[in-house]
Structure 1
Amino acid sequence: MTDFSTGNGGSFDRTNAFLAALVFVISFVVYALTVQQSFSFWDCGEFIACAYTMGIPHPPGTPLLMLLGRVFALVPFVEDISHRINYLSVISSALTAMFSYLLAVKMIRHFFSRGDDNPLNRLIAYFGGLTGSFFVAFSCTNWANSVEAEAYGLALALSVAIVWLTFRYVEQRGTPQAAMTMVLAMYLAMVGLGIHMTVFLVVPVCAIFFVLKKEAVARDYLMVCAFAVIELLLIILFANGRGGSPIFMLVSLILGAVLLFMLYRKIHWGIVIALAVCSSVMISFSLYFKLLPVGIVALVVLGAVAKSRGWSIQWKTALVILLVGFIGFSTHFYIPIRSSLSPRIDENNPSRDWQTFVSFLDRQQYGQQSMVDRMFIRRGSWSNQFGRHPHMGFWSYFEEQYSRGGWLFVPFFALGLIGMAVAIRKRQELGIPFFTLFILCSVGLVLYMNFADGTKYTPEGGAYLEVRDRDYFFTPAFVFFGIAMGLGIAGIMQYVKDKFALSDPGRQRNLVYLMSVLVLLPGISLGKNYHINDRSKNILPYLYAKNLLDTCEENAIIFTSGDNDTFPLWCLQEVYDYRKDVRVVCLSLLDTDWYVAQMKNRYDVPISLTDKQILWYPMTYDNGVEIRQPKKPFNDRPRGRKAYLQASMVGDNVVRVQHMIVDEIVIENKWEVPIYFSSPPYAESPLRLREFAMHCGQVFRLDREPSQNLVDVEKGYDLFMNVYRFDGFENSDVYRNENATGVFLGLGMSSIRIYDALIAQGDRDRAVALMERLREVYPEYWQPTAVLADLYMSEGDSVRSLEVLQQAHDTLEAFLASNLENLYYRQDLGTIKIEIGRITGDQKMSDEGVNLIWEAFDANRNSGYAFNRMVSVLANAGRLTDLQRVARQHAEYRINLRDSRLQRILGMGISTPPPTPGF
């Protein structure tokens, strides 16, 4: 039997409570100083809009997050509503840091203390807890989640609290309070599903303590944890055509049966049933709904048998877990209730029927293949998924969490490993499960999420690289490793104290006081990560959305492409009540029946189809094949056919639902209101939409007649000079990652089109004025400098040409110094250096520029922007061998094979690509 007592007698530790509160306050202050004061890109705008309006966000709906966000929106402690809702993440992540402190202290006391009456042992526990909690608080990804309206801050707070409660349960085991603690932990796990499924990651490890009886010994814990690790190895073994999920399931069942047979006398079987039912949500919510009544009946029957035979299986506690767990899960029923009231944002319309609701919870919008099956068809190479790779490589994120990479990561990494090793050596029963928890949150998530690296085809024949950085999925691993670093500090202090002053209490005390300086180590993380996570002056997403809406005329329709040109607009319209006359139609959602129906019925978008021609219903063919399609076909006027509103083939082209509906809206609109596109209309339209798409500011406006230059010069000039806002664009101290920089590239490119049109018209003065305006308000964008330098040089003013280039060079150096990971700045600075070197004859400057562009390309060889820049540099230099090498590297990402320029270079007949625009 394992003794988990800590010797404190259950007394309340005021010092510990004070330090926990101090951790919360310090973390809260740092987060409050750096929190975004409006909304961010990606899902944040959607979450804020849905929280404020009590709408339904993307599956699985995060109902508890929406309800809590609504509460924060109603409390007027700051003026901006988005700012208020962001504070939910601030408080949540401060709680994460606090619970991390409490968890670390509890673990250290188990591992190291010989009795809490020893003040030095208590100090070591406090110091270790403080260090670990601040490493958690100031780790890069966790901090980033703490300053915007996202789900991960609150999810992590619940996760760490559940682990802390599990260790508390271990201390209470054998007392009446133990069952209450276990029930509370499982309630938090189930209610946490209303925040994010990340919360449930800790349950498998916590279940080890709940399931095993007090009589279990260290070897039993080792066996269960070994089984979990073996499961991960089996995934690797059976992946990529070597058996897949069926063989994995078979082997897992055999190994699990053997394990249960070996431990059956030391297991609370009632708790096993309850936790198995609750954990089924990780496979699918539909499975949970099926197993819940089965589990209740099984426990009642098993309880009756156990009572008659005198068995102890804790069936009553297990029933309470199921009941309380369902109560926690019940927040999800808010979704269909609210959806039935037709909120303005109602994604997937989950109130349509029960199956729609369950499919919504199971995230079937993102594909029919289960995540378990998908694990065995790897969407990236092992080296890219576990190593360094843009947007998804685990190690890329891990090494930058606490020190932004570099040599400092080595001692920090060693500190975490020391913490894990000491934990295992001192108390295997606790240390091994904690280590297993980290493995599941790191290696396990790499295997489960199976992120795409762009080098492999999917079963459907597609290929892609993750569209954004996926570091946030690994936040639990970074948090628990931060706690391990605190354990490492405590382990080192305990070792030094005992090694060098075992028989001298005074010297022991002095050594502990001296080593307390190690508590300052997280200050390195604070300093390294502060700028990157300081959003306090960043209003760029707000300005992007405002400028986009301000481009549109009254009552216009604008087709947007995806998250970043849709969610900010939703937030601005629904939360700030700005330009709600503009109807936003998201193309990526327009491939779904529910969204088309909502555009027609709720937003009055001109669509002539009836609901029976739009909504999909389950249908079964005579051969038993089940499909979903509308009850009636519609008249696809542009293609002259009757068709069902589903993706179909017309000739050699796939016609998507969004293609048919875009054409339908254009025809049915009858030119009554302006129609805009945030990106060019799809090229295959029978209506030849691209020929009628006039570039208007940063969007495309559909006109009645095709234009020769396709640019509305007057409207665009007025927008850039008098309408668009650029507050903070010129401030290099406002951190921009590549995503933010990339979003605004279209804005700069639009200004260049207007410049070219003005020059073609002979209107030099306004062309120069426009470029000077861009250089003033948007100095990070290099092309206004390029075209002006070109213009001045053509006019014989080489001095002025060099002057503007040098100004751009200094500006980009400042932006790069402030945003070292931003590859756009690296490439743009390299381009400017090359041009300065060409004009001045400074070969060293040119070489520096080429090296910067090479570095940017090597850092992300999938980037089309980086590839085109690299091609231009190499082609201008006549380095055709290097050109071919770059093309082959770019072609490793299968999605790029459609690039016509890449195809030409890969072919033996290399045609020299044009030089970089502007030079």
Structure 2
Amino acid sequence: AGYSAHLFVPIRSAQQPAINENNPSSSLATTINFLERKQYGSQSMIERMFKRRSEWENQFGDYQRMGFWRFFNEQYGLIGPKFVVLFLLGLFGIWEVIRRRSDVGLSFLLLLLICSVGLILYMNFADGTRQHPLSGADHIEVRDRDYFFTPAFIFFGLAIGIGAAIAVQYIREGVAKFSAVPKKIIVTSSLILFLLPTFALARNYHLCDRSRSYFPYDYGWNLLTSADPDAVLFTYGDNDTFPLWCMQEVYGVRTDVKVVNLSLSNSKWYIKQLKSSMGLDLGLSNEEIDRLKPYRTADGTIFRLQDQVINALIANDGRKIPINFSVSVGLGAQKYRGKPMDSLLVLSGMVWRVDDPGQPRRVDIESSIDFFTSPDKFQSRGVNDPSIYKDATTFRLTRNWANGFLMVADALRKAGDYERAEHLVERAVEQIPYSSRAVEYLANLYSRRGEVDELRTLIERTAHGDKGRLKLLLGRSERKLKRYSEAERLFKDVLAEDPSNRSAFEELVRLYLETKQATPMRLLLLRWLQSNPRDNQVKIMLEELEKRMTVPGTVGANES
């Protein structure tokens, strides 16, 4: 029954859709490998189940990304000690079904155990404690794996409902001999159990609501809109690939762009599809693709299959069609013939374009500004709306947009165009307000340009960025304007929060030297040494200051 539900997979694959992962229709063995998830490794899932990839307590307990209990006790709205009530109610429901209808109850219990305990054993998720030091195998799961346990959550939710219903039934039977008024009060009170789903709804609705979430759509749109006409666009993972495929196949956006996923490019079936489905020229026959394997050169350079695909596409198609890399592709993958491609890359919007050799990692300033400032090109709907739920992945991916803004702004700054750089970063902070890098970059620009009021307003309004660093910038600006009292207050605030903050300490030292305040300087040095007793340089500074303070005619002499 488990396999029969997936008979549609080879049937659909045989139609040669544009996205045909693993090409499971090519043979029965390929279909079985697909169902056993061998695309994620050579081992079958059955074999992998018996190889310990995690500690038992982490797989069953409350452990990040993969612990069953971590997800289980958050499903029904009541967490912590309150969840015990729901858990006991669910167990009670299971027991009652078994007691009343053993055939149904035992089958139900078996299903629940298969979907929970059985799946924990079968999936054997990795917790990172047994990661291979060289291959990286068995690294901690890359994302929350709660979705694998959805059937178990549903079945146990059903058990809670059954338990609640039977509990109310027992209460009604128990108070049957009571007088009318107490009976009505008790029975009515017991009906509160049927409000339990509202707790789950209240706790989980915001986390699950996607009615105003356009992040995947806009992420795909921004990458495709940045790409050159008819380009090959290299992406890396799920999040920078599937939204693009959806945009192209469902919405018909930029179907001229050929999206090539580098992670999948380590699979021979995918390399063949680059030829057959996309029409890309790799200069390789299918037989040669079958013989591809990773190799190491004499100088120690490792060429994965994905590296060989990049080399082949640039060598054979690089002069015929544009080659682009998504900004989400890491530096380690941006190589040609084993060498970094920095001198060949030009940033345009959210992609790196492979171009003629020049300065490392140049920026096409005008095309990028046009992209980031044109509403019909760059989209960031809901990113600055705190009422829309964003998970860790959404925060990370949308911060990539802010990084794009900053790379263009930095190119403008280096060219001396501070005004346009400032306007661009202000736009980044407005649209992606939780980007600490954007906030701190804008603060630096304000400080550099002496725009103290703007800097102060930014610090007051933002909840992001390193507060200590921002206060230091404002304090320096205040000191330059000779507003010493305000600058002193800011530097002291930073030191109060972090007594070992060297930058704040040195700024206060400069301020006291500039204002010739020996006594506050001495107290500052003493307090610093209390928190940093091994700082010999400050010890020498304190000794020198105390000598000067005792010599008549010197600054600070005889101060009390």
Change (3 A) 1:875 1:348: farther
Q: Which amino acid aligns with 2:324?
A: Y
CA distance in 2, matches of 1:418, 1:581: 59
Q: Residue 559 in 1 paired to residue 240 in 2?
A: no
Matches within 5 A, 1:52-67: none
Are the counterparts in 1 of residues 346 and 364 from structure 2 also a CA contact under 8 Å? yes
Change (3 A) 1:353 1:492: closer
* Residue of structure 1 equivalent to 2:130: 456
Are the counterparts in 2 of residues 416 and 486 from structure 1 also a CA contact under 8 Å? yes
* Residue of structure 2 equivalent to 1:695: 347
Matches within 5 A, 1:710-859: 710-722=362-374, 723-809=377-463, 829=464, 831-835=465-469, 841=489
Matches within 5 A, 1:155-194: 191=4, 193-194=5-6
Change (3 A) 1:701 1:337: closer
* Residue of structure 2 equivalent to 1:363: 37
Q: Which amino acid aligns with 1:792?
A: Y
Q: 1:484 aligns with which of 135, 140, 159?
A: 159
CA distance in 1, matches of 2:432, 2:400: 12
Q: Which amino acid aligns with 1:397?
A: F
The size of the alignment, in residue pairs, is 482
- Tell me the SS of whatever aligns to 2:341: helix
Deviation at 1:449, TM superposition (A): 0.8
CA distance in 1, matches of 2:496, 2:167: 45
Q: Which amino acid aligns with 2:280?
A: V
Superposition TM-score, scaled by structure 1 size: 0.49
Change (3 A) 1:366 1:576: same
- Tell me the SS of whatever aligns to 2:259: strand
Q: Residue 585 in 1 paired to residue 239 in 2?
A: no
Are the counterparts in 1 of residues 296 and 302 from structure 2 also a CA contact under 8 Å? yes
Matches within 5 A, 1:535-684: 535-614=210-289, 616=290, 630=291, 645-651=292-298, 652-678=300-326, 679-680=329-330, 682=333
* Residue of structure 2 equivalent to 1:401: 75
Deviation at 1:508, TM superposition (A): 5.3
Change (3 A) 1:762 1:843: closer
Are the counterparts in 2 of residues 730 and 778 from structure 1 also a CA contact under 8 Å? yes
Q: Which amino acid aligns with 1:416?
A: G
Q: Residue 447 in 1 paired to residue 121 in 2?
A: yes
User: CA deviation digits over 1:268-308, x for unaligned, max 9?
Assistant: xxxxxxxxxxxxxxxxxxxxxxxxxxxxxxxxxxxxxxxxx
Structure with the greater relative contact order (CA < 8 A, sep ≥ 6): 1 or 2? 1
Are the counterparts in 1 of residues 66 and 127 from structure 2 also a CA contact under 8 Å? yes
CA distance in 1, matches of 2:131, 2:504: 34
- Tell me the SS of whatever aligns to 1:700: strand
- Tell me the SS of whatever aligns to 2:296: strand
Change (3 A) 1:421 1:351: closer
Are the counterparts in 2 of residues 553 and 674 from structure 1 also a CA contact under 8 Å? yes
Q: Residue 472 in 1 paired to residue 147 in 2?
A: yes
CA distance in 1, matches of 2:57, 2:18: 44
Indicate the structure with greater helix content. Answer: 1
Are the counterparts in 2 of residues 379 and 458 from structure 1 also a CA contact under 8 Å? no
Are the counterparts in 2 of residues 404 and 529 from structure 1 also a CA contact under 8 Å? no
CA distance in 1, matches of 2:66, 2:152: 15
Q: Residue 334 in 1 paired to residue 21 in 2?
A: no
Root-mean-square deviation over aligned CA pairs: 3.1
CA distance in 2, matches of 1:595, 1:347: 7
Q: Which amino acid aligns with 2:315?
A: I
User: CA deviation digits over 1:572-626, x for unaligned, max 9?
Assistant: 1111111111111111111222222221233122221122222x3xxxxxxxxxx
Deviation at 1:458, TM superposition (A): 4.7
CA distance in 2, matches of 1:668, 1:495: 77
CA distance in 2, matches of 1:848, 1:582: 54
CA distance in 1, matches of 2:216, 2:112: 35
CA distance in 1, matches of 2:386, 2:230: 36
Change (3 A) 1:568 1:848: farther
Change (3 A) 1:804 1:333: closer
- Tell me the SS of whatever aligns to 2:279: coil
Are the counterparts in 2 of residues 387 and 396 from structure 1 also a CA contact under 8 Å? yes
Deviation at 1:783, TM superposition (A): 2.3
Q: Which amino acid aligns with 1:647?
A: P
Change (3 A) 1:671 1:785: same
Can you give the 5+ residue segments of structure 1 that lack an aligned partner in the other structure?
1-185, 195-328, 617-629, 631-644, 810-828, 851-872, 879-919
- Tell me the SS of whatever aligns to 1:521: helix
Change (3 A) 1:495 1:358: closer
Change (3 A) 1:788 1:491: same
User: CA deviation digits over 1:775-795, x for unaligned, max 9?
Assistant: 222223232221121222233
Change (3 A) 1:536 1:461: closer
Q: 1:372 aligns with which of 5, 24, 46?
A: 46
Q: Which moved more, 1:345-354 or 1:782-791?
A: 345-354
Are the counterparts in 1 of residues 36 and 45 from structure 2 also a CA contact under 8 Å? no
Are the counterparts in 2 of residues 555 and 582 from structure 1 also a CA contact under 8 Å? yes
Are the counterparts in 1 of residues 98 and 106 from structure 2 also a CA contact under 8 Å? yes
What is the aligned-residue identity percentage?
A: 36
Task: Compare CA radii of gyration and give the structure with the larger one.
Answer: 2
CA distance in 2, matches of 1:739, 1:848: 34
Q: 1:686 aligns with which of 311, 325, 337?
A: 337
Deviation at 1:849, TM superposition (A): 8.8
